[in-house]
Structures are given as structure tokens and as C-alpha cells.
Structure 1
Amino acid sequence: MAYLSVFCAVGETAAQAVGVPVAASLINEIIKACEEVGKQKRSAKLLGTKCKELAMTLTEEADRLEDEDMRKRIDEVTGNRSRIFHTVRGRTQKWAKLSLLYRWWRRDEIGTGIEELKTLIEIQLEKFSMQNQIALKRAQNDTAATIKQNHAEDKEMLRQVLANHKEILKLAERHSAGETIANDLFEEGQKELQELRKILRSPTSLSESGSAFQSSRRNSSSIQTTREKYLELQKGLLDLQINTGILPADKRLDGQVEREGDMAVTGGPHTDIWKGKWFGQTQVALKALRYIKSSDEKAQKRFIREIEIWSKLKSNHVLQFYGVITDIGSNLHVVTPWLENGNVLEYLARHPDVDKMQLVMGTAEGVRYLHSVEVIHGNTQYPRHGLKSKQRHTKSKSQGQACISDFGMAKTLQDITKTPMSTTLKDHDGVRWMAPEIVEGKSPSKASDVYSFAMSVLEMLTEKAPLYELKRDIAIIRAMAKDGPIRPKRPTEPEVVRWLTNELWGLLELCWAKTDHARPTMEDLMRDLREISNPLIMAK
């Protein structure tokens, strides 16, 4: 009777569940009758097992779910369909009361009846399971709908904040105070912008209902609404960026930047530089990397990783990086601010009376800062770098602020293309700025940056390329191969001597030491330059 006692225990447990005492009592009696049938023992046992399974299912569900929907489903099994349980009980009890003889005589009838009852119970289990799944699916759908609604409300709040200029100004104040809410808002705004862009770029499909014309009109209206949201969001992000100076959290700026003109405006050893517009308004520089294709996923990830590092650098003399774009032309583009003053040499040509020592100091500070955070510049031609639009006023004249750009790019390109930096720079007339070890094929270092910085200082003061008397780079290479590193001759022109004092010339010669360990550090140079520059400023 152990088998019977187990089932009875289950029945008693089921009877304790809310809403199931009737079903539990019936199941107890069914289990008992199944034990006493004595014929078709295996089938009868399986019928009892099915009853047990149903009882346990009712009990577990009642314990786990206490909402109204669960009560209704249990009531449906135990109430509206209780006649099924009464039928099962009645038939099994009838068979159990038969004498042994009659049970043998009606064995086929009992066997068929047990199978029918098993089927009835299985149907109840399946229906209950299906109802449970439906209810679960409904609950999941309700939860998903709630999440979707909350997500939509969050997006709407995001758009409202970015559309409110007063809120942007408040955010700018909080950002200046060190709060990060503006950064978070900009990041979420970028994500939403990308989502809207995907919608605008996806092919529109016609609805299955209604005419093609009506569906087309609905799609057109939806696209127009999405486009308006996109432009409104762009405008808000631009307002936030202008007032806070925040750099994009997502460095992939596809769809946010437009290139202007049919030709690059200038170029460098590694790049062709175009003008562009970010968010349709802010002027930016697009630097197309000649050796990196936009389809190169590995290169994209490497540059994005480097830009995320570079974007953390903070110095008035280091140009910021916004990000990269891959949807313009066949080459990867790096996006930076556009410097209206142009590079140092262009600026000097327009402003002959500028304080050159301030430009030298600004350039030195930029390189010093990079070295302090363990960034090697590598691109040697500093006078070809830019000046910020930010103005400094000196005797009623406004002067641009020297700003280092393209730092780290030479090393990154060398790693990606597996081409030594010396090869690239030799191909683009960069030899005259290069330290001798770089000409020999070694990688850039802080010491090679120092050598190149000194050459750049000489170029800024003379407004001529270093070693200008040697017209071609091949002549410089041959001379270096024959006699070792070539030192520039000291200029004697009055307009150069005005800035190039004995102290400054001696400092430059230290930077041109043949061996890299004999050159001063940028930290030492900055200290000495401050001492040199003070008398010059006083003399003015």
C-alpha cells in the first residue's frame, strides 16, 4: 500500500492549495481506486501517475502564482470541468468493486476504459499547460510593452531636454562643476541618432492591407517624422557640444559628418585633408588616411581604440579628436576640429609681426604634455600643424595658439600597415625633420620627437624648411650616409637673429645630438625655454 499512501499524500497537499480542495479529494479517490482495480496494473498505475502529475501541477502553480488570472485557470480545471474527475472516479471505483471473476471477464473493457481515462487526464494537463504558456506569454508581452513604452518615454524626454536651450545651458554649468550628466546625455543622444539613421536608411516595405498608394503615403509620413526627429536631435547635440566642449562618446561618426568640396584642401605625410560639417553646422577637418581602407574592420577598431585614448588628453596645445567615419569615400577618415588659422607657416605668412617665441613655447608645451602621458608624436613636421581659433591678445593684436595635431598617428599607421615610418616620411619629403635613427628605420621615440622639435623651431624662426640649401631629400640621405647626421647652419638674417639668441641656438644644438640618449627631455627643454623667452618678452 506504499504506492497508495504516496498518492494520498499528494492529494492532501493539493487539497491545501487555494481553490483546489474538490480536485484533490477526487484525485485521492481515483488513486485509491486505481490501486484496487487489480487488472491492467501497469496502465492503472500510469493513470494514477497522470492524476498525481495533475495534482502536483495544480499545487505548484497555486503556490507560485497568486494573481487573479491563476485562480481563474485553476478554477476552470477544478470547477467547470469537475465532471471529468467525477467520471474518472466513478469508473475506477466501479471496476475496483468488481469481483475477481468479473474483472477477468471484462478485462478488455477495463483496459480500454483505463486508456480513455488516461487520455482525458492528459488532455487536461495539456490544456492547463497551454493556458499556462498563453498566460506566461501574455505576461511577457505585457512586460515587453511596458519596457517599450518606458523606452519611448525616455527617448521623448531626451529629445525634449536637447531641444531646450535653457536646459543645455544648465547642463553646461553642471558640466563645468564636474558633473557627468552632460556626458551621459550626449552618449544617449548619439545612440538615438544612430537608431534613427538606421530607420532612415532601411528600405520601406508596403503594408499587406490597403492599397499600395495608401501604404506609400503612410510610409512617407513616417519617414518625414523620423527625419524631423533626426534633425532636431542633431541640432540639440550640436548645442550641447558647443556649450560644453564634450567629445563624442561613440567615436564612429557615420552619418553625422558631411564632406565639402570636390578636392582635398591640403595634405600631410599620411593624410589628405578635407573640409566637412559635423551635425550640419560645425566646421571640422576630415583627414583621409591614404593607406587605410574604410572597409578594413581591424584598422577601424584599432583607430577607434587609439582615438578613445587620445580623446582623454587635455591640453590647450593638443588638438582634440572627435572620431572616425567610414561612409565617405574608400578611405578611413579621422575627424578633428577645423583650425581657421591654418598651420603655423600659413599663419606666419599672414602675420609677419607675430610673437614667434610664443608659438615656439606653445609647440614645446604640446609635445611636453604628450610625453608626460607617454604619447609619442612621431610626425615630425610641427610647423605644418595648426593654430587654434582661440585668441590671445597682445598689444591690441590677436594671436593664434599653437596646437599639436596628428600625434600618435605615425606609430598607429606603422603598426597597421607594417610599413616603417621612415619609408612613409621619405616618400613625402619628411627626411629633413627626421632624427638619424628614424632614417635608419627605427621606431619613433621621445628622443626622436625632441630632434624633430628642434628642426621645427628653426623652421618657424626662419620660415624655411630645415637644410633648405639641400633641395632634394635624396641629397640629405646621401650626405647622412657619407658623413653622418647633418646639422643646420646657423642663420644670420636680422629678422631671424631677433629670436634666435645664442642661448636658444645652443639649446637646439643639444637637441640635434647624434645619439638619442644625449638629447634633453621635453621637460628640460620647456624649463630652459621659459628662461630664454622671458628676456625676449621683456625686450619687446
Structure 2
Amino acid sequence: MSMRDRLDRLVAGSKSAARKFGQAVLQPRYASIVFAGAEVGVNLLPMLAPIVNVAKEIVEMCEQMESNKRAAQQLTQKCSDFVTTLEEALRPKFPSLTLEENIRQALAIIKLVAIRVKALTEKHKVKAFLEEQYIANEIGDCISTLDRCLSNLYLQSGMAIIETQHMFERNRMRDHEEVVDRMSTVQDTQSAILRITREYREDIRNFQAFMQEILGQLEKTNDPRRFGLAANLHLLLQETGDLLPNLHLEHGEVQVSTTMLRTTREHNVTDYYLGTFLGKQKVVVKTIRSALADNPEWIRRFRREAEVWTKVWKEDKGTYTVPVLGFVKEPHTDLPNMCLVYPYYEHNALDYVRNNDTTDHMRILQGIAKGLAFMHDMDVMHGDVRGASVMIDEHGKPLLSEFGLSKIIEDANKNPTVILSCELQLSQRWAAPEVLDGGMQSKSSDVFSYGMTVLELLTHEAPWYYLRDKSTFAFTSKVVRGQRPERPTLPIISVRGLNDAVWDLLQKCWAENPLERPDMHSIVESLQALKHTSR
């Protein structure tokens, strides 16, 4: 006999008992017979009928649930047991006000359970999938609520409650494993992901966080399902254009190789390695030396930076910037540093123009200017504007990368035992005089560095390349004293775009007083005007 049939039979029996109870209690002449008990033939107290009806409603709702089916089935069984236990306990007893109050209490409890179950069944498929743990907790609490009710009525032992709890945990784990299986099945889940991005946009972020958390669980046990789950998560990010909800990549999101990349940057403070993101995307993993990954302060620092990276990417979506995919602990070492993870690009701007001399240099410079204007509008400065910090995508479009990184490197090297690295010394070729003189970086210092980047990309050389004295002091002293680079005279540099108007614009970018420098929007407008004039 099914649970629904069983409950239907109990309902019928309860209704019959209710009629007899009404005839006896509502008519005084039958009262003595009722309280005598057996003569009336009351098998159940009539108030059990509403309890049975509510239990039946819960069973029907549990059958409709989209997730946590095993836990829901256990709740169904518990409702049936709840009614049966009440029936068996009350059958041999004399009706009394105490028994009536107990039944009222049981009815109130099961009604509350029904309300909670109804809320769970009203969740659409994706919501139910995302909130699998929450739903499991709710079902578990409903089962415990019914158990406590019986216990309070002295109708169930503590051992029975413990066994119920153990059974629920087993069902909960089986339900969870089923969810993991579904998320890790590449073909089925990928088609579902495409549907989710169209129909359930408001739940996407929670879905991503859920998948990322499950990925971490699978990574800890080397569960092979993690590969399928990672692929599905990567597809979801591609479809939505989002970054991961948690940029602290400690869930196995990144696999770092031992292959060190050749870069135009120095390796005294940073090292670059190839890596793979979510098993699908080639990435660059940049190690920040002296930023120890086991230092809680550094973790907090990177989390704060991650908020900025996420804010920029949320507005930009790859129009002007390279996203920071996250930060991760350096592998392959006993004393790990913190690493930043970026998408891999074949060329930075300087390498690109050197390898493609016929490319439209001014188009690239205008793209960089637009990117800086966008960042400044968001009240975010770059801090290290130069050719090596600009990546070129497969369409030849410039993308700003590593913004804010110079400050992180600077902070990592404040230890007096650390000598200023060659990389930091090299970046000073683009730096504004107030920065070289110990001042703070600002949007105006970005403007100064942008001017140096224009010169760099048009000459294919770092600023001050012509100085025989290659020491840092040789050029920093000139900048602080108000001197600026000489205008190049090679004809090819003019062909690339360095005409009188561009040179005049650079002088404005290099103004000694930061307040006298143009903002990036003015620079973009000037470059657009120059473009139209040159036609």
C-alpha cells in the first residue's frame, strides 16, 4: 500500500470517528459513554483527521520537489510515521482534555511543517538546484520538528530520533552526490547552462559560487568529476562574461606549470609562469616575491584589491582592460608567495609594435587613452602605465593590464632588507616627477606616464634610451629637475605618428605641475581631432 493510500484510509477512519465524537461530545447524554471509551467505538480521536489531511498535503508536495528527492522521500515517510504513531498511541487511551491538547499541538506543528515545505516546492528548478544545501537543511529541520513533537508527547524514544538523523544524513549525502554528478556531466550540464543564462539571469551569481564551492570539495579528494565541473564553470563564465565570485583561487581553479615565461619585465621581484584556468584557458601566473601567501595581512590586501578588479571588470567586460582572474598561492615551494592570475596574451604593446611596424600606432595609443579615461571615470588609477602593461588581443586591440600592481609590488618591498628591484627601477623611466620625488601616484601621474608610453611605442624604445649613462639616477635626476626627453628625429618615427601636434600634446602630459596636465578625456578628444585632421 502506498503512503498516499495509507493516509487516505486514515482520513476516512478519522472522519468516521469525528462523527461519533460529535454525536457524543456535543450531546451531553452521550458524554458518559464517550469517556467510558469502547462503547462508542472510537478508533481515533476525531481531531486526528486534520493532521492526516495536512500530512497528505506534505506527501504530495514532496513528490513535486525538483531536488533533494531522497531527503524529501524521508520526510514523506516521517509524515506517515507521525500519523501512525499518534494513531497507535491514542487508540487505547480514554479521550480527555489533555489528549485533545496534545492533538492540537501536533496539528499546529505539522501545519508549520507544511508551510515550510510549500515554500520549498515553489522554487523553480534552478533555484532548487542552487539551494540544495539550504533545502536539505530545511527538510532535515522539518523531520526533527516532527520528531521533537512526538518526543514531547512521550511517543518516541531518543534512540529512534538518532536513527532518523543518521538516515537523513545518508540521504542528504546521496542527494548531494547526485547534484555533483549532474554538474560534472559535461554534455547535459552545458546545454542546461545555456538555458540558465537565458532564463534565470538573477540566479547566475549564486550558481557560479555554488559550482566554485563544489569544485573545492572535489579538489580536496582528487575526485575526477572536478574536471567536468571546471569545464562547465568555465563555460558559464564565458556565457555571462563574469569573473568568479571568489577571486581567492583556493578551490583548484588554477593549475600552475613549472614553465617560466620570457617577458620584457625583470624577474627580480616577479616571476611569470604558464598556467591553466578551469582546465580550459591558458593563463599567466605572476608571482609577487615577498608577498607571503601565509601572511593574513597579505590575503586581506589581495581581497581588497580583488574588489577593485571586480568593479572594473563588471563595467568594462574586456573593452579596455585585461581582467585579474584572481590570486592564488604559489605552488612548487615551501615558502609560497602570492600570485596573480591573468589571461594569457601573446604580445604586450611594445613587443607588438616592434614585430608589426606597419600597424597603426596611433590607433593603439588612442585605445590606451580610452582605457585610462574609463578607469579614471571609475576613480581607479593604473599606477604603471607603459608598453609592457598593455596587452594586445587577437584583433590588435590594446587592453590595460596589471593596474594597481605597482603599489602591491612597492608594499611587498618595503622591507629594508630588500633592495629596490630592477623592475621597479625600470618603471621609473615612465614615472612623473612627483612620484620620483616620493609623492603619491595619482590620475595625473598616470597622464604623465601615458605621455612616456606614447613616446615609447612610437620610438620602439624605453624613455631616455639614448642616454649613455644607464643608471637610474641619470634620468630620474633630469625629470625631477624639469627636463624631458628629446624629440626623436628619425623619419620612421614621424611616419608612425609623431608629428608636431602629438609632440605638443606630450609636453602638456609632461607638465611639471600635475594640475596643469590634461585629463585623459581631453587627451582622447585631442587624438581624435588629430586623426580627423590627418585625413
Normalized against structure 2, the TM-score is what? 0.65
Residue pair 1:448, 1:516 contacting (<8 A) in 2 also: yes
- Aligned partner of 1:326 in structure 2 is 329
> Is residue 438 of structure 2 the alignment partner of residue 459 of structure 1?
no
Per the alignment, do residues 401 and 141 of structure 1 end up closer, same or farther by CA in structure 2, a change over 3 Å counting?
Answer: same
Residue identity in the other structure for 1:535:
T
Residue pair 1:163, 1:236 contacting (<8 A) in 2 also: no
Deviation at 1:413, TM superposition (A): 4.2
Q: 2: distance between equivalents of 1:372 and 1:20?
A: 83
Gaps of at least 5 residues in structure 2 are 1-30, 38-80, 95-150
Per the alignment, do residues 434 and 74 of structure 1 end up closer, same or farther by CA in structure 2, a change over 3 Å counting?
Answer: same
> Is residue 220 of structure 2 the alignment partner of residue 198 of structure 1?
yes
Residue pair 1:304, 1:323 contacting (<8 A) in 2 also: no
Q: Cα deviation per residue 1:338-385 (whole Å; 9 max; x = unaligned)?
A: 012x111111121110000111011111111111101111113x2112
- Aligned partner of 1:62 in structure 2 is none
Per the alignment, do residues 416 and 387 of structure 1 end up closer, same or farther by CA in structure 2, a change over 3 Å counting?
Answer: closer
- Aligned partner of 2:533 in structure 1 is 535
Residue pair 1:20, 1:74 contacting (<8 A) in 2 also: no
Deviation at 1:511, TM superposition (A): 1.0
Q: 1: distance between equivalents of 2:441 and 2:290?
A: 19
- Number of equivalenced pairs: 391
Deviation at 1:197, TM superposition (A): 1.1
Residue pair 1:317, 1:365 contacting (<8 A) in 2 also: yes
Structure 2 counterpart of 1:338, from 341, 344, 347? 344
> Is residue 445 of structure 2 the alignment partner of residue 444 of structure 1?
no
- Aligned partner of 2:134 in structure 1 is none
Structure 2 counterpart SS, 1:234? helix
Residue identity in the other structure for 2:84:
E
> Is residue 256 of structure 2 the alignment partner of residue 259 of structure 1?
yes
- Aligned partner of 2:276 in structure 1 is 277
Structure 2 counterpart of 1:406, from 402, 405, 424? 402
Deviation at 1:488, TM superposition (A): 1.2
Larger mean CA deviation between 361-370 and 492-501 belongs to 492-501
- Aligned partner of 2:85 in structure 1 is 69
Per the alignment, do residues 72 and 149 of structure 1 end up closer, same or farther by CA in structure 2, a change over 3 Å counting?
Answer: farther
- Aligned partner of 1:236 in structure 2 is 232
- Aligned partner of 2:292 in structure 1 is 293
- Aligned partner of 2:176 in structure 1 is 151
- Aligned partner of 2:243 in structure 1 is 247
Residue identity in the other structure for 2:522:
D
Superposition pairs of residues 482-501 of structure 1, within 5 angstroms = 484-498=481-495, 499-501=497-499
Deviation at 1:415, TM superposition (A): 5.0
Q: Cα deviation per residue 1:223-279 (whole Å; 9 max; x = unaligned)?
A: xxx32x122222322333444433222213242322234434226475322221223
Q: 2: distance between equivalents of 1:352 and 1:358?
A: 13
Structure 2 counterpart SS, 1:510? helix
Residue identity in the other structure for 1:253:
L
Residue identity in the other structure for 2:403:
F
- Aligned partner of 1:305 in structure 2 is 304
Residue pair 2:455, 2:463 contacting (<8 A) in 1 also: yes
Structure 1 counterpart of 2:376, from 353, 356, 371? 371
Per the alignment, do residues 477 and 453 of structure 1 end up closer, same or farther by CA in structure 2, a change over 3 Å counting?
Answer: same
- Aligned partner of 1:355 in structure 2 is 360
Per the alignment, do residues 272 and 533 of structure 1 end up closer, same or farther by CA in structure 2, a change over 3 Å counting?
Answer: farther
Residue pair 2:451, 2:510 contacting (<8 A) in 1 also: yes
Residue pair 1:162, 1:233 contacting (<8 A) in 2 also: no
Q: Cα deviation per residue 1:93-152 (whole Å; 9 max; x = unaligned)?
A: xxxxxxxxxxxxxxxxxxxxxxxxxxxxxxxxx999695433443444455455444434
Q: Cα deviation per residue 1:132-184 (whole Å; 9 max; x = unaligned)?
A: 43344344445545544443443343334764443344445569xxx244444
Larger mean CA deviation between 460-469 and 349-358 belongs to 460-469
Q: Cα deviation per residue 1:479-528 (whole Å; 9 max; x = unaligned)?
A: 456xx122111122111123112221111101111111111111211121
Structure 1 counterpart SS, 2:358? coil
Q: 1: distance between equivalents of 2:511 and 2:454?
A: 16
Per the alignment, do residues 127 and 246 of structure 1 end up closer, same or farther by CA in structure 2, a change over 3 Å counting?
Answer: closer
- Aligned partner of 1:523 in structure 2 is 521
Structure 2 counterpart SS, 1:503? helix
Per the alignment, do residues 333 and 154 of structure 1 end up closer, same or farther by CA in structure 2, a change over 3 Å counting?
Answer: same
Per the alignment, do residues 135 and 73 of structure 1 end up closer, same or farther by CA in structure 2, a change over 3 Å counting?
Answer: farther
Structure 2 counterpart SS, 1:500? coil
Normalized against structure 1, the TM-score is what? 0.64
Deviation at 1:476, TM superposition (A): 1.7
Residue identity in the other structure for 2:242:
I
Deviation at 1:530, TM superposition (A): 1.3
Gaps of at least 5 residues in structure 1 are 1-15, 23-64, 79-125, 201-225, 392-399
- Aligned partner of 1:513 in structure 2 is 511
Structure 2 counterpart SS, 1:430? helix
Q: Cα deviation per residue 1:270-326 (whole Å; 9 max; x = unaligned)?
A: 532222122333110111112212222321232133223312321412111111111
Per the alignment, do residues 306 and 434 of structure 1 end up closer, same or farther by CA in structure 2, a change over 3 Å counting?
Answer: same
Residue identity in the other structure for 1:323:
G
Residue identity in the other structure for 2:530:
I
Per the alignment, do residues 160 and 232 of structure 1 end up closer, same or farther by CA in structure 2, a change over 3 Å counting?
Answer: closer
Q: 1: distance between equivalents of 2:242 and 2:218?
A: 22
Report sequence identity in percent.
26
Residue identity in the other structure for 1:439:
L
Residue pair 1:275, 1:286 contacting (<8 A) in 2 also: yes
- Aligned partner of 1:137 in structure 2 is 162
Per the alignment, do residues 469 and 76 of structure 1 end up closer, same or farther by CA in structure 2, a change over 3 Å counting?
Answer: farther
Residue pair 1:299, 1:416 contacting (<8 A) in 2 also: no
- Please, what is the CA RMSD of the aligned residues? 3.5
Q: 2: distance between equivalents of 1:491 and 1:422?
A: 34
Residue pair 2:260, 2:274 contacting (<8 A) in 1 also: no
Q: Cα deviation per residue 1:420-474 (whole Å; 9 max; x = unaligned)?
A: 9995677432222110111111121011111011011111111111122223222
Q: 1: distance between equivalents of 2:527 and 2:221?
A: 56
